[in-house]
A = this chain, B = another copy of it.
Amino acid sequence: MDNRSKVLNCAVTLFAQKGFDAVGVQELVDCAAITKPTLYHYFGNKRGVLDTIFVERFQPYLNLLAQAADYQHDLPLCLQNVLRVSFDFAQRNHTLFQLFLSITNAPDKSESFAATQPYTERQFQIIQELFFKAAQDHGNMKGRHNAYALTFIGMINTYIFFSFHNQIELNEDLIARSIQQFQYGIYS
């Protein structure tokens, strides 16, 4: 594997396990079995490594999500697709998604938070648009697409978070139950 990929792989693991601030550049290059100038050649600085991780490795999730969230007048199906895509990506990119979650909840003024902000915003946008369109089909949802988006994203991230801590399993049963419960909240 080329040095650039080695750095990214090590960075995902180390940042996810110890946190962006707690990982030194030296530790990172040791893990990747390279030297500092190589890292600075590819990424400019430490922050550049984090940015690259999101651009190259997390962006694909948002693309899949946008696809799954394409509303075709079947809300339960659409929500099901969104959950499936999210759970699937989180399971196949365990460490990466763990990194995303930790930084999303990180302090506002931390350096790492700035790196994820565009991606959390995009995630919210996608889900919000889905509920906005759905609200045009379901009258009693009108004016609440914002609240639905927040609750739904919160649910997604919460379940993925607990799955990482082995307290829950991201299976079809959970998907079905989640959507059922969510629908009750909507049609009431």
Encode A155-188 as 1/0 by CB contact (under 8 A) with B: 1011101100001100000000100111011001
A147 within 8 A of B: yes
**Segment at the interface with B among A46-54, A104-112, A134-142:** A104-112
From B21, B105, B155, B177, contact of A101 by CB (8 A): B105
Asked whether, in the complex, the Cβ of A154 is within 8 Å of the Cβ of B150, the reply is: no
A151 within 8 A of B: yes
Give the distance in Å from the alpha carbon of A15 to the alpha carbon of B110 in the complex. Answer: 10
A16 and B107 contact, Cβ closer than 8 Å, known pairs A151-B158, A154-B155, A162-B154: yes
From B18, B146, B159, contact of A110 by CB (8 A): B18
Q: Tell me the residues in window 1-29 of chain A with beta carbons closer than 8 Å to chain B beta carbons.
A: 15-19, 21-22
A98 within 8 A of B: yes
A102 within 8 A of B: yes
Q: How far is the CB of A188 from chain B (nearest CB, A)?
A: 6
